Structure 1
Amino acid sequence: MKSIFKISIVVIAFFAIQQVKSQNSDKIIVITIDGLRWQELFGGADSLLINNKQFVNNPEELNELFWADSEKERRESLLPFLWNYAAKNGAILGNRWEKNKVNLKNKMVFSYPGYNEILTGHPDDQRINSNQKINNPNVTILEIANKSEDYKDKVLAFGSWDVFPYIINEERSGVPVNAGYSMSLAKKPSDKELYLNRIQEQTPRRWGSVRFDVFTHNYALEALKNQKPDLLYVAYGETDDFAHDGRYDQYLKSAKRTDQFLKEIWDFISVDPYYKDKTTMLLTTDHGRGQGIEDHNSWRSHGSSIPEADQTWFIGLGKQIRPINEQKENKQYYTTQFAPTIAKILNLKFESEDGPLPILKD
């Protein structure tokens, strides 16, 4: 009987230590905004597109919502959280008007290759050259974290696009992925998650493989509240699909909603005891788009035929980020540096030709 009691004490102590260790460890929220151009991030609404009735149903309304005389005013109107808070308290890279550049290294320049590069730190044009639902042969930083001692079973992913279970290789990695039109993956869904399940099922579907971001966002936010992941990945998708549809008005409105989603996540982790003062938020995009200058339709597209589609951006905010604001130096960065940055923050072993981004605190 004494032996059983001693074993029980040891087990309880072990789990108590693990819980304290997890509470004190660094947390990361990784966010991608599919196909959001650097032009809108740094300049707000584009004068070439906002009045083009081919892409905008009501130019007067869109101008009232998003137009201003200066780039600074326009970008703050479109993305108020990113520019009024994140830029002032974190780091933003990729303003090519200031010769600060971020580029992809893969030559495919569309979604699956972009997400592979973001999450693995390596382009793989030989094997990742389509958007087909094939399990990623490469190991993502999410998988490395999930198989580590410190972050095992503390990694979750949420995406609007239904290919993410394959990009992350849910089967091999063990990382739970709620993507596409998946319902809540929680063992004991909250009342809000049960309600999300219901209204997601009842909501009309605009795209067959991509749900509206409001569902992705709220499932992820509920996970933060109830499951407390240490590494959370949220992949918003609407901006890319509205752009492909040629709806510049909806593309801008979606970007504004996403900014509000980011603020909601940040506001939560800023007060929640599990995340407060322990969390870093990292943001990027999987690819750029055409500029829409000579061919106005090129803003809708990306891929190897669009020269500007490899142009991306980075944003960092939170515990491990130096508050260096918008970078205006003539510098070149690459998407392959994103995963090494995550690895450095989480103190994980990671092999990459490119080191982490120079935005981290010493």
Structure 2
Amino acid sequence: MIRVILTLAFLACCACRGTAADLKTKNVILITTDGLRWQEVFTGAEKELISKEPGGVSNVKAIESQFWRETPEERREALLPFFWTKIAKEGQLYGNMPQGSSSQITNTMKFSYPGYNEILTGFADLRIDSNAKKPNENFTVLEWLHRRPAFDGKVAAYSAWDVTPFIINRERCGFPVMGGWEPVPESDPNPRQKLLNDLIADTTRPNAAEVIDSFLYQAAREHLLRHRPRVMFIGFLETDAWGHAGRYDNLLTSAHAVDAYIQRLWDLVQSIDQYRDKTTLIITTDHGRGSGPTDWKNHGKKIEGAEDMWMAFLGPDTPPLGERKNCDRVTQSQVAATLAALLGEDYHGAEARSGAPIKDVLPPVK
């Protein structure tokens, strides 16, 4: 009996190794766009908010011309063309509530630090109840991977928010982290990075805590080109900032820009041998927002609906199921383990508090 058990265990281990070896994904880029609602992702611009009140839109006709269409399908493609012409055909999207696809956070806070902790660690932590700049005691999946030989020196994180270095615990994690209005994390910046540093230092700051997304994109892109990480986190923020500011026009413009940044990153990785057909994108948000003329601007513990969010996956191992409908609920807590599983690593086994990998995002077990 013992011999049989040992034989079965050995075969199970071989099967696990074989499955990992069969994965085509060798690199993962995790991208977030802060506070972007599922409503915009799946139904596009909202008519009521393309207005001076309550949308704060300065040029209604211009925004209508750019983003308003008669059907939700047309509106969402006008807003997020890469999502709906590429990911929806070759990847997967979760979170269209009316279509039976629920994607939710599990923390009760419904704001950013708890959300990013949940994305990156795979579990909600009741101790995290503010956005205060306190080093995260929890290890993120990024740090967990970085401590493994295959990923040592091959992890990086670039975020527009100055709290991110604390969420990832830059002092402990051991890999490059950029957050907010600070120079790129480069000891010997090249000419392009020097120019970025000058622009970051010289630009008037519309938000003291959040560097503008265009600078963040260029900084992250340059790091990818120069250092070729296997795992990278990129966090955009303007979609949240303009929501809080009550400027629906700028929120839509920012979401459209993030879609373009993602397409450019995808085109870039497809042009590089290390990444071509070996890279998976995971795209999501840290929380949702409310609905109606006021609550679309807000999120937080008291805002109904701010627990509802979305996520998207595109890569060589993810079955092309497109927009998911009438499927099992997925949660923010599953992102970390899914990221690791796409690389053949068992983060969920190492961190029992984390959500399990999303099975449908992974290739079927042979």
Give your verdict on TM over 0.5.
yes
Please give the secondary structure, in 1, of the residue aligned with 2:257: helix
Pick aligned residue for 2:323 from 326, 335, 339:
326
Q: Deviations over 1:46-92 (max 9, x none)?
A: 12211243421111111011000000110000001111111111000
* Superposition deviation, residue 320 in structure 1: 2.2
Between the aligned partners of 2:282 and 2:190, the Cα distance in structure 1 is: 27
| Match of residue 305 from structure 2 | 308
| Conservation of the 8 A alpha-carbon contact between 1:158 and 1:177 | yes
| Match of residue 360 from structure 1 | 362
* RMSD, aligned α-carbons: 1.4
* Superposition deviation, residue 337 in structure 1: 0.7
Q: Deviations over 1:320-355 (max 9, x none)?
A: 211111011143111111011011112223224531
Name the amino acid aligned to 1:79. Answer: L
| Match of residue 13 from structure 2 | none
Between the aligned partners of 2:217 and 2:133, the Cα distance in structure 1 is: 23
Please give the secondary structure, in 2, of the residue aligned with 1:342: helix
Please give the secondary structure, in 2, of the residue aligned with 1:233: strand
Alignment of 1:74-113 (within 5 A): 74-113=75-114
| Match of residue 43 from structure 1 | 43
Please give the secondary structure, in 1, of the residue aligned with 2:289: coil
| Conservation of the 8 A alpha-carbon contact between 2:170 and 2:177 | yes
| Conservation of the 8 A alpha-carbon contact between 2:32 and 2:236 | yes
Residue 180 (structure 1) aligned with residue 173 (structure 2): no
Alignment of 1:1-362 (within 5 A): 26-54=26-54, 55-125=56-126, 127-292=127-292, 296-350=293-347, 351-352=351-352, 354-357=355-358, 358-362=360-364
| Conservation of the 8 A alpha-carbon contact between 2:337 and 2:346 | no
| Match of residue 6 from structure 1 | none
Q: Deviations over 1:289-322 (max 9, x none)?
A: 0011xxx110000011101000011100012211
Between the aligned partners of 2:177 and 2:355, the Cα distance in structure 1 is: 27
| Match of residue 14 from structure 1 | none
Name the amino acid aligned to 2:240. Answer: D
* Superposition deviation, residue 360 in structure 1: 1.3
Between the aligned partners of 1:112 and 1:25, the Cα distance in structure 2 is: 29
Which ranges of structure 1 fall in alignment gaps of 5 or more residues? 1-20
Between the aligned partners of 2:71 and 2:346, the Cα distance in structure 1 is: 44
* Superposition deviation, residue 156 in structure 1: 0.3
* Superposition deviation, residue 278 in structure 1: 0.9
* Superposition deviation, residue 209 in structure 1: 0.4
Between the aligned partners of 1:136 and 1:347, the Cα distance in structure 2 is: 26
Between the aligned partners of 2:171 and 2:356, the Cα distance in structure 1 is: 28
| Conservation of the 8 A alpha-carbon contact between 2:160 and 2:236 | yes
Please give the secondary structure, in 2, of the residue aligned with 1:331: coil
| Conservation of the 8 A alpha-carbon contact between 2:290 and 2:296 | yes
Between the aligned partners of 1:220 and 1:361, the Cα distance in structure 2 is: 29
**Percent identical:** 39
Q: Deviations over 1:233-274 (max 9, x none)?
A: 000001001100000110000001111100110000011111
Please give the secondary structure, in 1, of the residue aligned with 2:305: helix
Please give the secondary structure, in 2, of the residue aligned with 1:309: coil
Please give the secondary structure, in 2, of the residue aligned with 1:271: coil
Please give the secondary structure, in 2, of the residue aligned with 1:322: coil
Runs of 4+ with deviation above 6 angstroms: none
Which ranges of structure 2 fall in alignment gaps of 5 or more residues? 1-20
* Superposition deviation, residue 215 in structure 1: 0.9
| Match of residue 8 from structure 2 | none
| Conservation of the 8 A alpha-carbon contact between 2:182 and 2:200 | no
| Conservation of the 8 A alpha-carbon contact between 1:53 and 1:59 | no
Between the aligned partners of 1:60 and 1:331, the Cα distance in structure 2 is: 40
* Superposition deviation, residue 25 in structure 1: 7.2
Please give the secondary structure, in 1, of the residue aligned with 2:51: coil
Please give the secondary structure, in 2, of the residue aligned with 1:92: strand
Between the aligned partners of 2:272 and 2:344, the Cα distance in structure 1 is: 23
Please give the secondary structure, in 1, of the residue aligned with 2:47: coil
Please give the secondary structure, in 2, of the residue aligned with 1:29: strand
Between the aligned partners of 1:214 and 1:98, the Cα distance in structure 2 is: 33
Between the aligned partners of 2:281 and 2:315, the Cα distance in structure 1 is: 6
